[in-house]
Structure 1
Amino acid sequence: MTQYTARLTGAVPFNLQETFECGQCFRWLPGDDGSYTGVVGRNVITLRTDGDDLLVAGLDQAEAEQRLIPYLALDEDYAAIQEQFRRNTQLAQAVDYARGIRVLRQDRWEALCSFIISQNNNIKRIRGIVETLCNTWGEPLPGGRSSFPGPEVLASLTEEDLQPLRSGFRAKYILDAARKTASGEVDLDHVASLPTEEAAAELCRIRGVGIKVAHCALLYGFHRIECLPVDVWMKRVMSTMYPQGLPEELLPYAGIAQQYLFHYSRSHPELFEA
């Protein structure tokens, strides 16, 4: 039986399933009791909802508050953000469908590498590749999980070494990202200090990183919530719902709006049937 060691209060609006299964992260696995277990840094953490609170296993109270309040974006006023979103008819439907989504603050390198892997891929396969990457080159952690390997670990590998991942053309992109990041040629701390479009341009120096992957890395790893990654689903959303682009008042929160719209559109493909 899971021993919960911390409690985070007032986590509303927040939903574990909606947040961890909306396509923004790949290492949180559901349990039979509605809990989710994932890896944050070198901690294996289990979360379960208890009313408006979150029960935490794997961290003590002080650690949970320090690590998970920012990671889960519990320090942001999503009720106020959603109130603004609901003034837009199309976005209101997406918010009300999954109001418990929050955009996580993930590790920069993990987000960059994961979204390089995500290119032309489905979520189930991305999860498998990421987990194999971690189990092969990460540090062993409790419960059979492993940490996400840092760029310095992957930088010395070859495409042949990465064959167990079955990542195809993405292998050379993973290695280029690892080498440029480990060497400091692309300095993620420096990227974090740049204006958004300059930061995206810096990430695009990595082989195989285009504007969509760069914006995903910035949104999920650097918490640039103004970034609007556009994949196949979002192209459909924008052409169908917002042919003139998102309204100006939504642009500062475009990445959060995108997450609601992305999840809603994937769950309602009939919206785009001719």
Structure 2
Amino acid sequence: MSASSPAVWKSIPVPLSELCISTVLRCGQSFRWRQSGDEWTCALRGRILTLRQDATHLHYRSIFPASSSASSSFSSSSDDDDTAELLHDYFNLSHSLSTLYTQWSRSDPNFLSKSARLSGVRMLRQDPWETVVSFICSSNNNIARISGMVWSLCGAWGEALGEAGGVVYHDFPPPGKLTGDGVEKMLRELGFGYRARYIAATAKIVDERGVGWLEGLRREGYRDAHEALLELPGVGPKVADCVCLMSLDKAEAVPVDTHVLQIAQKDYGFGKTKNKSLTKAVYDEIGDHFRKLWGKEAGWAHSVLFTADLSAFKETKVKVKKETKVKKETKVKKITKRQAAALKKEALEKAYSVCIKKEEEQSRGLKRVKAEVSPEEEEEEEEEEEETVTKKKVKVEVKLEEAVEGAELFSLAERVKTRTRSRPLPAGRRGI
């Protein structure tokens, strides 16, 4: 599928302290962005959107499908392209993140410590229907696998918008596309497992009520919106809070799973227990604790600490093992020069033996791969091998001879010295 025209890059001023896309787009909020170098691409609201960022600006380009009725209006040079407004809405840029970081740091030393290396982590404002489906997939799952599931779902039922970088991008399908009789079966074949039943059932409910019902929850209070979401199959307290926080403007929503429970126990001394299960009472207690600590945007602060604790964002700590030096008394046994020469001779003989053995092993190893070598190359390698072995043998033999000769000369010198000491000197050479 082709696009309407080559897209040009545009930009909006956003410093890294307010938004860091390399963190926000891979910390478990959205699951459809694909990274290529320093660029991120996603099919979003009827267009293929590519982003990149520098210290002061967010750069973007949009590709609209050629079949789109708006493609003539949304060309690369059109003033009607609403992508800038979309980005402001999608990234929640009306909130001052720097101000919030300062506020949370003043009330929480742990936040101050963890956030120092994670600036620009803010909450997305995503489509509620997509967020519901994505977080139904998150049950007992990880970010990489959730991303694969959502990508497969879009490929099977979403509208193909075009190609970018050799990849075909599909928009997220509306609930009506997932209400057919064979949807659950196909989702299972795509690897969704038990989640397939929940997605198919939830799609029918949302389709009957209309997607406007989900978007209307933005106007409801946090507690009412949370309870309404719990009516959907596959949506529990944590999924409901994720949808509230990441698509329904409920900044106070704090999604709690075992990961967040561990953060609460480790960093805040909260209910130290080995029990990893979350009862409703424990869930509510943790959420209330963080809402009291961080205020009405507690969900945003929670997301920063959650991201800091993900393995992809943790600081690599190199553990240096301290070696304990134990002083051992070494008993030195004195030996004569003759014994030293004998030991040297013995060592050289052993070295000679090891050398020959190693050459034989190498020779056997070479023979195992000679099936891939031509006869001419094999003959040349054998000659070089024999020459190398011969040189090493000669070198060892020379050292051995030198050692033996040295030992013999030493022995002769000792005998002469001994005889000289035992003989009386001639009268003419005696001292006066």
Q: TM-score, normalised by structure 1?
A: 0.91
Q: Could you say if the C-alpha distance between residues 10 and 192 of structure 1 is closer, same or farther in structure 2, counting changes exceeding 3 Å?
A: closer
Deviation of 1:22 after TM superposition, in Å, equals 0.9
1:140 paired residue among 157, 160, 168: 160
Amino acid across the alignment from 1:173: Y
2-11 or 92-101, which deviates more = 2-11
- Runs of 4+ in structure 1 deviating by more than 6 angstroms, as ranges, are none
Query: For the residues of structure 1 that align with 2:225 and 2:161, how far apart are their CA atoms?
Result: 33
The equivalences for 1:1-80 within 5 A come to: 3-13=7-17, 14-32=19-37, 34-58=38-62, 62-80=81-99
- After TM superposition, the structure 1 = structure 2 runs for residues 188-207 of structure 1, keeping only pairs within 5 Å, are 188-207=214-233
- The C-alpha deviation readout for 1:164-207, integer Å capped at 9, x for no partner, is 32110101110111011000189213322221111111111111
Picking from 298, 302, 305, the partner of 1:254 is 298
Query: Displacement of 1:270 after TM fit?
Result: 9.9
Q: Which moved more, 1:42-51 or 1:255-264?
A: 42-51
Superposed displacement of residue 246, structure 1: 2.0
Structure 2 equivalent of residue 84 of structure 1? 103
Q: Return the offset for 1:118.
A: 0.8
Q: Give the superposition deviation at 1:6.
A: 1.6
CA distance in structure 1 between the partners assigned to 2:291 and 2:158 by the alignment: 43
Identity rate, percent:
29
RMSD after superposition = 2.2
> Given that residues 135 and 146 in structure 1 are in contact (C-alpha distance below 8 angstroms), is that contact kept between their aligned partners in structure 2?
yes
SS of 1:175 mapped into structure 2: helix
Gaps of 5+ in 2: 1-5, 64-75, 271-285, 318-432
Residue aligning to 2:239? 213
C-alpha spacing 1:163/1:38, structure 2 compared with 1 (3 Å): same
1:6–1:64: 8 Å Cα contact kept in structure 2? no
Deviates more, 1:6-15 or 1:252-261: 6-15
Which digits, 9 at most, give the CA deviation of each residue in 1:11-64, with x for residues without a partner? 4422111110111110111112x1111122221111111331011111667522
Structure-2 change in CA distance of 1:269 and 1:99 (3 Å):
closer
Partner of 1:153 in structure 2? 177
Cα deviation for residue 266 of structure 1 reads 1.7
Q: Greater relative contact order: 1 or 2 (C-alpha under 8 angstroms, separation 6 or more)?
A: 1
Contact 2:215–2:248 (CA under 8 A) maintained in structure 1: no
CA change 1:48–1:216 in 2 (3 A) is: same
Partners of 1:247 and 1:131 lie apart in 2 by 34
Give the partner amino acid of 1:41. R
**2:123–2:246 Cα contact (<8 Å) kept:** yes
The change in CA–CA distance for 1:247 and 1:125 in structure 2 (over 3 A counts) is closer
1: distance between equivalents of 2:176 and 2:198?
Answer: 15
Distance 1:226 1:49 in 2: 29
2:32, 2:151 within 8 Å by CA — same for their partners in 1? Answer: yes
- 1:235 is aligned to 261
Question: Which of the pair has more CA radius of gyration?
Answer: 2
Aligned length: 269
SS at match of 2:290: coil
